[in-house]
Structure 1
Amino acid sequence: MYKPYRYLALFGTLGLLWCGFTHAVEFKSPPISIEQYLEIVRQNNSLIKNASLDVQIAGANKEAQSLYRISPTVSYSRGPIQNQTPYTPYNIPASNSYSLSFTVEGWGKRSAREKLSQSQINASTTQLENTSNDTQTNALFTYINTLRLLLIVNSEKATLDKLATYPSAQKVTDAQKFLKTQIAKTEKDLHFASLNLLNYSGDALKTPPLPKGNLNIPMQTYRIEDLIDQAQNNRAEVLNLMAYIEVADKNIDLTMKNRNVDVYPYIGQMRTSQYQYSNGANYSLPAIGPLPAQTINTAGTTYTAQNQITAGITIPIPINNFLQNADIVRAANQKLQNEMQLRDLKVQIGVQVLQASLQYEGAKENLMNAQKAYEAELKKPSADSVAKIMNVRDTEEDLLNSKTNHLKALINLWRQSGNYSVPTL
């Protein structure tokens, strides 16, 4: 109902402020749809891009973990090399020694690492989806809040245009002043809200954008049991936690496989070239009795080239594995902790869906009442046409607020039940 005193009490004060308060806020960016805006958010938001980089890191880690860890080692030595000869004809040849050693991993280690790495990729992917959904939902709510203010500004301007068709009168002039002041104030609120849209788009948008569309989303009816079941199976948090349970399970398997011992085969070769032990020596024997003095010559000994090959294997004895199981307990408890967290999360999700459903039912009821009030005001006869125009504007603003609350409550119900759809505005 139009209450003249509601406006008359404000007209005097607002009239004093009107001249300095009513300059319009200009928007340089063209309007963009919600689909365009959310695509910009997906492509440029740092939280989403960082989560995407985590997926790439997990993929690169899988490549590394899938490799066989043979760790080959090659060694070479030559010797002995002496700086002096202890005595003549002392002679030790120098030899060249080569060896190759490597690791043969315990049974199942590589495949267990590969499976763990794949589960980590899956967990990173679900985390990316979770981060993207949360970020886009916040951006969507900001878009809706901005769209609400834009529609209110349009409603106020349309009302002002209607008043411009009336003959000049004090009541018309006062109503126009009031609307111009309201438009200036709402446009400033709109500019402030549109700045919030830049918070989710990285550096892709240089100026605040304007939304476009409407808030005319039909009322929905759901069966609460279906929503709870859907939420407990499809909520991003559930999928993410289930992925981490899978990671913990694969980590248990790797922990067990890591107890399988690695063995270390090796093979070596030592090559010694031909050498002579002595270059020859002369021994003089004095005359003894009837034997005359003699000189004995020895040519020394020549050794042919030598080639020696050795092979072997080193096998550790894992005594500590039989004396402790802390690593297994730690890995198993991590999985148990995640499972208990998932159990509690599903209980909390059931409560959250119920609460969101109650909020939505309340928002639907408010929207129906606002719609009825608006339609009744349109049909209501009135001798005061200016008052009727202003009352219609008031009920239209109430209707826009109710539509906004209805839409946000609907989206919240969708999100709580694991539905990440975007409404068509």
Structure 2
Amino acid sequence: MLLFWVSLVMPMAGALEFQYHNTTQVEQYLQEINKNYPSITHLHSIGQSVEAVAVNVSGLPKDSCNPIFRTDPVVGRVLLLQLIDYMTRNYMSDPFITQLMKTTRIHIMPSMNPDGFESSGRDCMYSQGRFNKNGVDLNRNFPDVFVNNDVEVREIEVKAVMKWLETEPFVLSANLHGGALVASYAYDNSNGGSELQGGSSITPDDDVFVQLAKTYSFNHASMQHENKCSDSREFTDGIINGYGWYKLEGGMQDYNYVWAQCLEITLEVSCCKFPPESELPDLWDANKPALLAYMQQVHLGVKGQVFDLNGAPVQNALVEVEGRKNFCPFKTNSNGEYYRLLLPGTYTITVRHPEYEPLTETVSVPYGPDTFSALTHNFRFLNSASTTATNTTCLLPDVNYSDVLLPDTLTALSTFILYTLLL
């Protein structure tokens, strides 16, 4: 049966066919790709869904920028499977793909909600697929910095993603949906504070978010032309501030930005939530350049390490850019690494840690994506702190992860990772 499926979906030396693959087929496909390309792919589980479907991801070298794509049913699953297929088949033959994969760890989760996919109907606009088996919309179930989260019940799929985000230094992310044609960016919510400006909820990194959204829309076949779906508004340049479109509480892109220091946008890639399979090739052709260009944006800005007086990496050092006061300051990971997406320009950056005197330096940031490398700038503390201080980090919401179990077998909601030996 497996051999028949492989021959049907992955003909010899051919591309993945354009069709809707169920959860079992997705697992089989990813395992086959991992088997065929073991040196540049990896696959493992980060948790499970309500119906015990595995959420799979991989571990990679720890010294590169880390973009991630996630999707909800249905059309995003098709695009991300095609993306995996395209990149693995073109590695070492296409110069752009080769360079991107040699400089970037790319995590791809074809479906965050496999239970929803299995229950979805093939209706263009109204689908059950956005809800998991418990009837919860996962993209409204994340902690929200603008509301009280003390008694919120987190779904098991959401907790699996939250736990995963704590373990990987993700820099750039996107989640894919259907029902409109627009790139939407944070914030999705507001409590009427200073972030609320002219009907939009503006982040300290609004200029970067606009750049990211426009990168997608202007590399898409039609998104930037303000085409509107029959039941949707027009979007200037094919982008919109999330709150300026409609208020959304508990969204994943706000959570990623605030607590995981990962800039994420939401991509609405099709007016129809479940387009006919005959339209899938055109859908891929329209989105392929945009997906690739967006991933390349992970090389915006500046990256580096923070070291102590003896040259050892410092974990949890705050890295603050003057004029960009985030709810949760960006900080270094376990290897003392930091990543900060910034547009070209001159920036003053201060690093802080309770054991050392703050260190401030000014850097000139070039446009990194063209060379597939952000500016590398390391910091080394010069003096120990004269008094004991408290590091004002922003704590993640308290979540019990005990039910985020790893199944013994992969039964596929799968997060897949492409990688190579890094330059």
TM tier relative to shorter chain: under 0.3
Larger radius of gyration: 1
Higher fraction of helix? 1
| TM-score (normalised: structure 2) | 0.20
Relative to the length of structure 1, the TM-score reads 0.20
Between Structure 1 and Structure 2, the one with more strand by share is 2
